[in-house]
Amino acid sequence: MLSPDIDVDHCSQDSSASREGGFFLLRKDSKRRSTLVQILIQDTEEICNQWLMLLHRDATMSNPKLDTDHLKCLLNGIRGHILDPNVRALNTALDELRDSLTFDQTALMEIQLALYVLHEAVSTCLKTHKIQPHWMFTLDGLVRGAVQTTLVILAPEFDGQASGDQIEDEVVTSGVSSANSLKPLSFRKAAGRELQSELEHMEEENFRLLKELVEVQRSYQSLLHRSIEEKKLQVSHLSLLVSNKDQNLALKSQTMSAGVPEIQVIPDSELVSWLSQRNFDQDTIHKVCQEEYTLPDLLELATKEDLTRLQLKGGVLCRLWRALLTHRAQHPAPR
């Protein structure tokens, strides 16, 4: 296999004998194909990475489903078709992709879009090999032909329109055409339909979620109302319970007051007179009479401990006790 890398400056300085080697032999169709295949094999990783980047740049799909493994499988089929112009390699690669993508229509549409940008990814890689412009044009034609054949196999209805677009819109810049010229209007319409369908699905889902949110809020509001009513009922019961308890306490107090009349103590007049004569104040006289003492009780029977329980002031207690002792000394009790 001949190396595809040839420096233009170096070629201008070579002899005519050396110019007969290298890409000069690409005039033979088999050499052109084998050289392009060699480049695609050597630069598979770079081409697929660039290819995926271009696909994501141009994709109108909301959720791209192709990855580098899918692109490598597709590139392998295209490479086989370039080396041997038949559709066996392409059919094998496409069948493998359909199986791995479970015949997802969105993914199949994405494969079509990937085919439209493959030419740009390969052209970018070919430029790194310093290929002369007229040889670049030859290799570019092989890539375009393989892409066109793949599109026909994948979606036959694109065959006529893709060819017409290629003739009408093809723009050559340094021997390399724009890959966007291969994008048919029907694909954009299909992508638009898919996006419209997805938008309608999202609107339906949003409407369903909004209804669910309203139902949840309504249930929450009902629970709040129920909780508030229960709290009000509890407060009402507590208020009634406290009110009844207060009424029972008041009634009980009235009953006790009515059932136990206040006892009025009638003081012994002789005792009051005796204490007054000895200059005891009204408070002392009242405390003595409250204990229901009579004058004989106080003069004959009361002890100092009895007087202490009257809670009299110390001086008053001493004077009262001394008056009792004096009286008892003057009037001793008969034996």
In this structure, the answer to whether residues 304 and 188 fall within a common structural domain is: no
Q: Is 247 inside a domain boundary?
A: no
- pLDDT for the residue numbered 105: 74
Q: Is 183 inside a domain boundary?
A: yes
pLDDT profile of the chain (335 residues), mean per 10: 41 41 56 84 88 76 75 87 84 85 76 85 84 80 87 63 40 35 52 77 89 91 90 83 74 56 69 89 89 87 88 89 90 73
In this structure, the answer to whether residues 72 and 157 fall within a common structural domain is: yes
Phi (first) and psi of residue 176, to 5 degrees = -120, 130
- pLDDT for the residue numbered 142: 87
Q: Is 251 inside a domain boundary?
A: no
Q: Is 219 inside a domain boundary?
A: no
In this structure, the answer to whether residues 152 and 289 fall within a common structural domain is: no
- pLDDT for the residue numbered 62: 60
- pLDDT for the residue numbered 268: 84
Q: What sign does the dihedral 65-66-67-69 (CA atoms) show?
A: positive
Domain-terminating residue out of 172, 192, 212? 192
Q: Is 314 inside a domain boundary?
A: yes
- Residue 165 CA to residue 180 CA, distance in Å, equals 10
- pLDDT for the residue numbered 201: 85
Residues in CB range of 37: below 8 A, 6 or more apart: 79, 82, 83
In this structure, the answer to whether residues 185 and 325 fall within a common structural domain is: no
Domain-terminating residue out of 192, 217, 235? 192
In this structure, the answer to whether residues 16 and 160 fall within a common structural domain is: yes
Q: Is 242 inside a domain boundary?
A: no
In this structure, the answer to whether residues 280 and 180 fall within a common structural domain is: no
Residues in CB range of 124: below 8 A, 6 or more apart: 50
- pLDDT for the residue numbered 5: 45
What percent of the residues of the chain are helix, what percent strand, and what percent coil, each to the nearest 5? 75, 0, 20
- Residue 302 CA to residue 296 CA, distance in Å, equals 9
In this structure, the answer to whether residues 31 and 177 fall within a common structural domain is: yes
In this structure, the answer to whether residues 31 and 178 fall within a common structural domain is: yes
Domain-terminating residue out of 163, 192, 221? 192
In this structure, the answer to whether residues 185 and 292 fall within a common structural domain is: no
Q: Is 66 inside a domain boundary?
A: yes
In this structure, the answer to whether residues 186 and 308 fall within a common structural domain is: no
Number of domains in the chain: 2
- Residue 85 CA to residue 211 CA, distance in Å, equals 58
What is the domain extent for residue 302?
A: 269-330
Q: Is 185 inside a domain boundary?
A: yes
- pLDDT for the residue numbered 191: 64
- Residue 12 CA to residue 130 CA, distance in Å, equals 13
In this structure, the answer to whether residues 181 and 53 fall within a common structural domain is: yes
